[in-house]
Amino acid sequence: MSDTTLVTGGTGFIGSYVARDLVDHGHEVVCYDLSTDTRILEKLGVADDVTVRRGDVSDPTDVVRAVRETGANKVVHLAALLTNSARDNPRTALRVNVEGTNNVFEAARTLDDQVDRVSWASSAAVYAPPHNYGGGWVTEDDLVYPDTLYGATKEYNEHQARVYAEDYDLSLVGLRPTVAYGPYRETGGSAFLANVVERPALGESFSVEYGDQVIDWQYVEDIAQAFRLAADVPDEDRSQRVYNVRGTVATIREAVETVREIVPDADLEVSDEGELPWTQKLDMTAAKEDLGYDPEYDLADGFRTYINTLREAHGMDPV
C-alpha cells in the first residue's frame, strides 16, 4: 500500500515541489494549507494528482482532524512564517511556527497508531552569522545561536522535537535547508536573490549587493527530494534528529558570473557592500550517508532550468 502524506504549507513554494516529488514516488498526497490557491501545483502539473485541504496549522483541533480524516500515516511539516514575515509579525510567527509545530507533533502523538513519521522543516537560520564559526564547515553538532526571530522559532522547534521523540517515542526527522531558489518563489528573506536569475532571464537589468558573500544555493527540487527522503528513511538508518542539507556553495558574484555564462548579454551589476546574516557552509555528510541525499542540480544546471522555465512562460526561446 502507498503512503498517504499530509504536507502542511502544501500549496506554497517548497510545499508544491515536495508534493510533486512525493506523487512521483508513489505517495498519496494531501496539501494542507490556509491558501487553497493551486497555481504552483498547476504549473508543476500535479494539481489533479493531490488533494487540497484548507486548514490552519495554528489550530490544534483542525490539525488532528485533518491527519485523522485523511488517514495520513506521514506528515511533512513545512508551514511557517519566513524571516521577513516573522520579523514584521512576531506574535503570529510564534503562534504559527512554534505552536503550529507543536500542534503537528501533538497530532502525531495523539494518533500514534496511525502516524509513522513526521519530517519537518527546521532551517539553517538556527546557526549564527558565518564569522562565529571561523569560516569553516558547520556540522549538526556545532552550537546554534540564531540572530533572527525566525531562526529562534526553528531552534525552539528542534528542542521540542527532541522532547517529543524521547518522551513519546515519536519518529521525527528535521531538516535544515538553506537558500531555496527556483521558479515561483515569492517570499522569504532571500527571495530578492531570485532577481539575479529572473531579471536577466527576461532581458531586464538588475543590481545586487553582497557580491563577496557566500550563499548556499539550493535548488527547490533538491529540497523536495530531501524532505521525501526524510519522510521515508527507516529509523534504524538515522544517526541524527536533524540534518543539514545544502546545494552549491558560491558567492553572489560567482552566481552572477554563472548567469552571464548562460545569458551572455545579461545586464547585471554587483557590488560587495553589505553583509548577509546567514551561515551557508553546512556540512551534510550525515544527510548523504543516512538519507541518501544527493543534490541533482549544480549552480549551472539549476540556473539554466530556472531561466528556461521563466522564458517558456513568457513565450521566449530557451537558452
Q: Please answer whether residues 245 and 176 qualify as being in contact, where contact means their C-beta atoms are separated by less than 8 angstroms.
A: yes
- The whole-chain average pLDDT of the chain stands at 95
Cβ 82 vs Cβ 187: under 8 Å? yes
Indicate where the chain has its CATH 3.40.50.720 domain(s): 4-178+219-246
pLDDT band at 306 (very low <50, low <70, confident <90, very high): very high
Beta bridge partners of 173: 119
Counting other chains too, the contacts that 165-169 makes at CB distance below 8 Å and 24 or more residues apart are: 165/241, 168/109, 168/112, 169/112
Write out pLDDT tens, residues 285-300: 999 999 999 999 999 9
- Distance of alpha carbon 77 from alpha carbon 101, whole angstroms: 8
> pTM score, two decimals?
0.96
Q: What are 47-71's pLDDT values in tens digits?
A: 999 999 999 999 999 999 999 999 9
Q: What's the distance, Cα to Cα, between the start and end of the chain in Å?
A: 42
What is residue 156's predicted lDDT score, i.e. its pLDDT?
98
pLDDT of residue 134: 84
Among 61, 27, 45, residue whose Cα is nearest residue 227 = 27
Sign of the Cα pseudo-torsion (284, 93, 44, 71, in order)? positive
Which of residues 264 and 190 earns the better pLDDT score? 264
Return d(Cα 215, Cα 225) in angstroms, integer: 20
Q: Is the pLDDT of residue 45 over 80?
A: yes
Which residues of the chain does CATH 3.90.25.10 include? Answer: 181-215+248-277+297-313
The predicted model gives 117-128 an average pLDDT of: 95
| Spatial distance between the Cα atoms of 34 and 21, rounded to a whole number of angstroms | 21
The confidence score (pLDDT) of residue 135 equals 78
Least confident range from 93-97, 244-248, 278-282: namely 278-282
Residues forming a β-bridge with 7:
31, 76
Helix ranges (H only) for the chain are 13-24, 39-43, 60-70, 83-88, 90-93, 100-110, 149-168, 194-201, 220-232, 252-262, 285-286, 299-313
The stretch 147-163 carries a mean pLDDT of 96
- 304's grid cell: 539554466
Instruction: Answer whether 23's CB lies under 8 Å from 92's CB.
Output: no
Mean pLDDT over 177-187 rounds to 88
SS3 177: coil
Superfamily of domain 4-178+219-246: NAD(P)-binding Rossmann-like Domain (3.40.50.720)
CB 287 within 8 A of CB 211: no
The pLDDT tens digits for 209-240 are 999 998 999 999 999 999 999 999 999 999 99
Could you report the per-residue pLDDT of 7-41, keeping only the tens digit for each?
Answer: 999 999 999 999 999 999 999 999 999 999 999 99
Report, at the CATH architecture level, how domain 181-215+248-277+297-313 is classified. Alpha-Beta Complex (3.90)
Q: For residue 298, give the amino acid letter.
A: D
According to DSSP, residue 174 is labeled E
DSSP 88-121: H-HHHHIIIIIIHHHHHHHHHHHTTTT--EEEEE
